[in-house]
Structure 1
Amino acid sequence: MNPNEDTEWNDILRAKGILPPKEGPTEDDLFNAHDQAVREAQDKHLSDKDLDELDELEDEEDEAVLRHYRQQRMDEMKALADRSKYGELRQISEPDYKREVTEGSKDTFVVVHLFRDSLPACKLINHHLSELARRYPTVKFLKIVSTDCIHNYPDRNLPTLLIYGHGELQQQLVGMHSLGGTSARVGDLEAVLRVHGALPDAPAGRAGAQDESDEDYESDQGAKPDSDSDYD
């Protein structure tokens, strides 16, 4: 007697507890049964097709596959475009702060520069941030006049960078000493921001852009600053 057979006698013995309950189908059994049912349905669907109809059906299936991959690729490109929608250093004012910074940092990291145009150190950092914004278009780079952001904010604390992520302030970097030093180059500031998690690992910019950017800035300013006095 096979206790796993579906017989009336076995059912009676199971009901009385003489035989253990019959094991139900496993996950593999269910998967195989579904797979078999799909194959049988496909075979039945194709069994009455002639060669021309089969060729036409094959073309339609090929087109469906192409449409699927085309749509998938378009979705991937759109997602990349959505993430790469910044690419520049923008100035904001106090009314914009909550929307642009606090709420905006829920989807991406936001780097905010508190600055004053009259300070050479702030001009240097603005230049570097503009370059980094081009290299990292998925990160939002903003600047705001210091006293528009925090009333009576002292100039001695400038430049100041605020790093926001996940809707909250993650890091506050105060003064040139925290931004790579008084003669900081683009790469120095880039390294600081990466240490604090504000930048992804791979920049979108081309190799060698760092040196050219620094040289362009120094040429515009006439000479590279070598004194700390302008940055205190």
Structure 2
Amino acid sequence: MSLSLDDKLLGEKVQNYCSSSEDEDTPAPTSNVKRPVSRASSKGVVQTGPKGVIEDWRNYKKLEFEKKEEAETKRKEILQKHSLTCDPNAKGYDSDDEDKEFMDWYNKKRIVELQSKFASKWAGITFGKVTTLTHTNYVEEIENEEKVVTIIIHIYEDNIPACDAMNGCIQVLSQKYRNVKFCKVKASEAQVSRNFVENGLPALLAYKNNEIIGNFVALADTLGEDFYAADLEAFLHSYSLLPMSID
């Protein structure tokens, strides 16, 4: 049999190749295609096609649910080992409260561990007082500080009740958080506008690694005219500007 132009371009015919130029009465070769293997369902009935797929999906979801239940059971067992009481019949016992209490304790513990890990970075860096800034040393006190130190600056003016309260609060916190650099600067020294003095004080700025990480103005609207160190401490903690501690 001579080869056509198509045969020469595509290569010689392979076995079972059919061409319109060949005899149409030639019987087609026997197919060697394998038929899909039937699957038996959990009920013993053979399932093929879509029914088999559905059955497989149901079995998969059942197995997935069982694994989730097992994982949840193990988690509760671990939490219960660390809870304050192991007696589920004890007065006031609440598994949800126990879980939350343990997770709070664990999170605080991890924070302290991480702080201890990097404690060498703060070695020898202590303040314990409020530093007074002026227009001549303002930039220097920020740019020349260690990168790990958080700097909190109070912009204030005399004879403003909320500013007086703020100065007292940062004095107390500077003794408690000795690795945080607390500063204060008069609005006139910071060269802010009169409008800012009248409407924006007391104000707090927070810096770390020469970058501003917090900017709060008109804090009397948030804390009131007269507030305490604990109020300011909670406020700064809410913005992660103070290191955590564990009792």
Taking CA–CA contacts closer than 8 Å with sequence separation of 6 or more, which of the two structures ends up with the larger relative contact order? 1
TM-score (norm 2): 0.47
Larger radius of gyration: 2
TM-score (norm 1): 0.49
Greater helix fraction, Structure 1 or Structure 2:
1
